Structure 1
Amino acid sequence: MIEPFDIEIGETVYAVFPEEDEIYTIFKDGIEYVKIQKDTEGIWLKLDPETEMPTFGSDEEINNIGKAIILYQENGGGDEEDEDEEEFE
């Protein structure tokens, strides 16, 4: 299981809680904000809060959150091994 992590977009910090099937619960200002799911490489979908079914339509904030998630994962996602190496340097 992937551990929760934070991403920052502009001055806003989002807490990201990964779930199964590339679904992520996003918290904004300490409150559950939205659930999102990756559709294609650059497109992310907001999930309906009641049914958890994808809602189709372009949402720039959701896509930016998704892009930040991908960048976080590509950069090792705060890999603890890297943090340990820094402690020994």
Structure 2
Amino acid sequence: MQEPFDITIGTTDYAVFPEGNDTYVIFKDGKEYVHIQKDTEEQWLKLDDETALPLFEANEEINAIGRAIIAYVPEEEEEEEDEEEDSDEFLLN
């Protein structure tokens, strides 16, 4: 499963905690803010706090968070690739 990560939209910072099945817990200002679920690449759904069922109402902030999640590229992958290249270079020498 994907590790938690941070995104910034405008001047607002969010912490994103993946839960699997395209569902995420979002923290804002250090507090649990909302649970969201991917519907499509451009459409994301807020989940009801009590029932965890999707709420089918348009919410631009939720969609912006979702787009930022899709656009996020983990830094760790780049580091792992560099380590693999270093390992391959060592084996060749």
* TM-score, normalising length: structure 2: 0.82
Q: Any idea what SS the aligned residue of 2:20 has?
A: coil
* Contact kept? 2:24, 2:36, Cα under 8 Å: yes
Shift of 1:9: 0.2
Q: Kindly provide the amino acid, as one letter, of the partner of residue 74 in structure 2.
A: G
Q: How many aligned positions are there?
A: 83
Greater share of residues in helix: 2
Indicate the structure (1 or 2) with the bigger Cα radius of gyration. Answer: 2
Tell me if structure 1 keeps the 8 A contact 2:23–2:38: yes
> Which residue of structure 1 lines up, in the alignment, with residue 35 of structure 2?
35
Provide the identity percentage.
63
RMSD: 1.7
Is the aligned partner of 1:82 residue 2:78? yes
Spell out the pairing of 1:1-89 with structure 2 (5 A cutoff). 1-72=1-72, 76-78=73-75, 80-83=76-79, 85=82
Specify the code of the residue in structure 2 equivalent to 1:83: E
Task: Give ranges in structure 2 of 5+ residues lacking alignment.
Answer: 87-93
4+ runs deviating over 3 angstroms:
none
